[in-house]
A = this chain, B = another copy of it.
Amino acid sequence: MTPSEHNPDEQTEDTSSPQSFSLAEAERIAEALVFASAEPVSEDFLAERLPLGVDIPAVMESLSSFYASRGVNLIRSADRWAFRTAADLSFVIRKDDNDVRKLSRAALEVLAIIAYHQPVTRAEIEDIRGVQTSRGTLDVLMEAGWVRFRGRRRTPGRPVTLGTTPDFLDHFGLEELRDLPGLDELKGAGLLSGRIPPNFQVPLPGMGDELQDDEDPITQMDLEELGLLTPGGEEEE
């Protein structure tokens, strides 16, 4: 016994003429489309499925304020829409088998730096943290779908730049990057303004005692060749 009555007259034929298409009907369709999906849905996606001329932002705003007080809210994140349970109800819904990714402290720090400083290169991340990013830390963030390669910096070496994804915003309940907590204060304090003035120099990481894969260690032979050790020379204390 399905309560959903099938109203044949709602399936209007002349969807091409916008005025004949009621706002309520557009809301029903948009609601159904977003509700059906676990992933946020872009306005483009909705536009493809709604009749031409429907003011999608208006429809979504109206729906969103309608749901604001309910147990399920319509949320916008990175210009995509999704239904999410209301945050204040987490205490009832919270599941025991909560599959939220545990992040290491390093990964969390790198994530924050990428979020606030994007587009940011790996070298800049290391400059901020003062330590090399261990292999796999970025991998964890990329696998989670929160961090992506954005492009390359147009500087010598063309280093790859990193940034966050729309899924990052969705996961942390942010509508857009400007909603990052404390962004304005950090900016105001000059803490996001890229680089330290060039005449400031503090040793950077990168001196990890592990050899890079593209270098070979200096051998005894090399040192002898360079005249830095006499052949068979003893080590000095």
Residues of chain A whose beta carbon lies under 8 Å from any beta carbon of chain B = 1-8, 10-11, 27-33, 35-36, 49, 64-65, 67-76, 83-89, 91-93, 95, 122, 133, 135-140, 142, 148-152, 158-160, 173-175, 178-179, 181-183, 185, 187-191, 193, 195-196, 198, 200, 213-214, 216
Contact = CB atoms under 8 A, between A and B. Distances in A.
B32 A71 contact: yes
Copies of chain A in the complex = 2
Contacts of A91: 11
A76 B3 CA distance: 8
B190 A138 contact: yes
20 contacts: A2-B84, A3-B67, A4-B84, A4-B87, A10-B88, A11-B91, A27-B71, A28-B71, A28-B89, A29-B89, A32-B72, A32-B93, A35-B83, A135-B187, A138-B190, A151-B174, A152-B178, A152-B179, A160-B181, A160-B182
A8 B88 CA distance: 8
A144 B37 CA distance: 22
